[in-house]
Amino acid sequence: MVISGLLVYGAGTLGGPSTALGLTLTWLLVGPLIPPPTPDMAPLIFRVRRPRPEEQAVLIPAWHNVAQLARVSADDYSLWVQDTRDVNALAAPGHIVAVTGWAIAALGPRELEAVLAHELGHHLGGGQRAHMLAYWYGLPVALIRTGYRKITWLFAVFVAQAAHIVGFVALLRLFGVRKAMDVICFAVLTPTRVLVFVAAVLGAATIFGIPTAVIAAAALLAEPFAKQAQRRWSEIRADAVAVDLGYGQQTHTVLDLWLRRVSTRREPGPLARMLDSHPPIETRLRAVRTRVGASGCVIPPPRSA
């Protein structure tokens, strides 16, 4: 939020100090006033669709059972389907709950309820409102980061195309370099991004001073890791909600099934794990067993692949 505020203030300085201050205050005050998306906006924002009649016949009773256990009104939420073969889909501001078509078709009734309870867990406790505020206050950083990535990537592609025109790509191929265009792109991309980032820090230092610019740069680098860590924590918390609603065994079964489905995939590296929005499935399984064990019940360990 601090980095976003500095970006907004920095943009406002183009119109003078008063404009910068007014723009920053407006940005701060507007955040809590932004309404969540309406259910009809869900397919425009997310890759979801309305449930088909045969899916509704399975989904509606399961959802009503979960809502009754959670003591919330089932009609306050809109149900959607995402056409993927993953287990979990999404929960979004505006009381939007989505499950995957695979989960509806492949899971038993109680397991499907466990998945729905997990998605409901994202809504309980005000998490979605906090998500809306985090999205708004993080929007300036997100826009800058997206522009930074796209512009530097386009520059790298331009250099690769120029190298192709002048014959440098053909020369690399003569020396046995495979995918020479890709090699040039990535060879140009990394130093370009470093140089642009350093230039941005130096520019910020001239506006806000060196200490502020250095702190902002460090925070900007750390922000993706902190954001994904918060998302991983929210997944553990949503699993805990499902367990507390009585779906501990079923949540464990679904996660175990998911683990066996992805067991053939290559293990991600440390950096990829830190930037993953979901914790490792083994971590979630341990958390579920711990949560269930605290209630005096026992769940067998997950079956091996």
Q: How far apart are alpha carbons 218 and 251 in whole angstroms?
A: 38
Residues facing residue 100 across a β-bridge? 82
Is the alpha carbon torsion for 164, 168, 173, 179 positive or negative? negative
Q: Give domain status of residue 289, yes or no.
A: yes
Q: Give domain status of residue 134, yes or no.
A: no
Q: Give domain status of residue 64, yes or no.
A: yes
Q: Give domain status of residue 246, yes or no.
A: yes
Q: How would you write the pLDDT of the chain (305 residues) with one tens digit per residue?
A: 667 777 787 777 778 888 888 888 888 888 888 887 788 888 888 889 999 999 999 999 999 999 999 999 999 999 999 998 877 778 888 889 999 999 998 899 999 999 999 999 988 866 667 777 877 888 888 888 888 889 999 988 888 888 878 777 777 777 777 777 777 888 888 888 888 888 888 887 887 788 877 887 887 788 788 888 888 998 999 999 999 999 999 999 999 988 887 776 677 777 778 878 788 889 999 999 999 888 766 565 555 44
Domain count within the chain? 1
Q: Give domain status of residue 26, yes or no.
A: no
Q: How far apart are alpha carbons 82 and 89 in whole angstroms?
A: 6
Taking each helix axis from N to C terminus, what angle separates 127-165 and 2-12, rounded to the nearest 10 degrees?
60
Structural domain of 244: 41-125+155-305
Measured torsion, CA atoms of residues 27, 194, 200, 131, in degrees rounded to the nearest 10:
10
